[in-house]
Amino acid sequence: MFMHMTFTVAVAGASGYAGGEILRVLLGHPEAKIGALTAHSNAGTLLGAHQPHLRSLADRVLAPTSVDELTGHDVVVLALPHGASGEVAAALAERGDQAIVLDLGADHRLTDAVAWQDYYGSAHAGTWPYGLPELLHAGEQTAAQQRAELASARRIAVPGCNVTAVTLGLQPGVAAGLIEPTDVVAVLANGYSGAGKSLKAHLLASEALGSAQPYAVGGSHRHIPEIRQNLTVAGAPDVTISFTPTLVPMSRGILATATARLVPGTDPAAVRQAWEAAYADEPFVHLLPEGEWPSTAATLGANTALVQVAVDERAGRVVTVTAIDNLVKGTAGGAVQSLNIALGLPETTGLALNGVAP
């Protein structure tokens, strides 16, 4: 039977996009009580100056990000640039703080220290339980093992937003052995908020509006080893992926088109069955009716991932398209979903199934 379980939560990086979004989600969570809010260059200013949409917290002063400020809560959210969260997490552990810690950054996602070093160029901070409840493990038709791992987690590494979209698109085919994971191509349309709030010339309206621009082309994007890791968990012996994100003029949203070669001789009907089986009981990952394609607009503000799959028989490929809101299912909503599991709350508590439109 569900018991009330009010928890206090501190958010480090509250002035940023991810920090602001997890505050928005937590303000709608019946059990969350907002504690310390911290920032870096904006410490000492009001939250309302950075998150004017969060009216109920507008008068809260941002403290500097320090263990002293963050300690003593039930939950600590680290919405910090990679590198910074590893340091703060280590300091909290050294202090013996008992909080459940959610890292929205990349520091604790990868299990392979060599891959970390290769893509991030710094020392590996370690590996935490991975906060994608829907992640299929090899041999699973529906996701149970990842949820079991999260049920006892005190540290949660929240996935990268692009990684969530590509993983959810492809994993049913990997787990069912229907696609060749050594031949995966993913091209994504990405809203600007995925790049964070700090000023960058190519994100100025004069540069970006009316234009689409690829970035991290040619295999350098830091989400590549994380996608490979997830598809390996789903049962792929080896993963080769070509991954190209493209900035498009929208604030939020990711539309990920991920394709892979169909294992020769596979009955195309088996493809739809695998995706249906994987997601039939998922509260937030929805396989759309055949022929209906996901759009980012249909996910805005919601913790949903909308997925479609088709077989291109002429090309011999499975084509998947997944839409998410990068800040909700791609970050803050996914984090709260995993937190609910860790706290023993119903997984959907405080999370929106319905978005905002138009």
Ligand X SMILES: NC(=O)c1ccc[n+]([C@@H]2O[C@H](COP(=O)([O-])OP(=O)(O)OC[C@H]3O[C@@H](n4cnc5c(N)ncnc54)[C@H](OP(=O)(O)O)[C@@H]3O)[C@@H](O)[C@H]2O)c1
Residues β-bridged to residue 63: 38
> To the nearest whole angstrom, how small is the minimum distance from the Cβ of residue 100 to ligand X?
17
Nearer to ligand X, 133 or 330 (CB): 330
State the nearest-atom distance from the C-beta of 105 to ligand X, in Å.
3
Closest CB 339 distance from ligand X, rounded Å: 15
C-alpha pair distances (Å), 112 with each of 102, 109, 116, 250 = 20, 9, 6, 34
CB 187 within 8 A of CB 244: yes
Strands 179-190, 241-247: pairing is parallel
Q: Which is nearer to ligand X, 161 or 168 (CB)?
A: 161
| Contact criterion met (CB below 8 Å) for 145 and 230 | no
The residues that touch ligand X, with contacts defined as CB under 6 A, are 13, 15-19, 39-42, 65, 79-82, 84, 104-106, 160-161, 193-194, 196-198, 326-327, 330-331
Select 294 or 334, whichever has its Cβ closest to ligand X.
Answer: 334
d(CA 105, CA 110): 11
Q: Which residues pair with 254 in a beta bridge?
A: 190, 324
Closest to ligand X by CB, 192 vs 275, is 192
Q: Does residue 180 have an active-site annotation?
A: no
Q: Is the dihedral of CA 170, 172, 174, 175 positive or negative?
A: positive
Q: Which residues contact 42 (CB under 8 A, 6 or more apart)?
A: 15, 49, 50, 62
Query: How far is 229 from 112, CA to CA, in rounded Å?
Result: 9
Out of 36, 78, 104, 161, pick the active-site residue: 161
**Beta-strand runs (E) in 145-191:** 155-157, 179-190
For ligand X, the closer of residues 73 and 82 by Cβ is: 82
Residues with catalytic annotation?
161
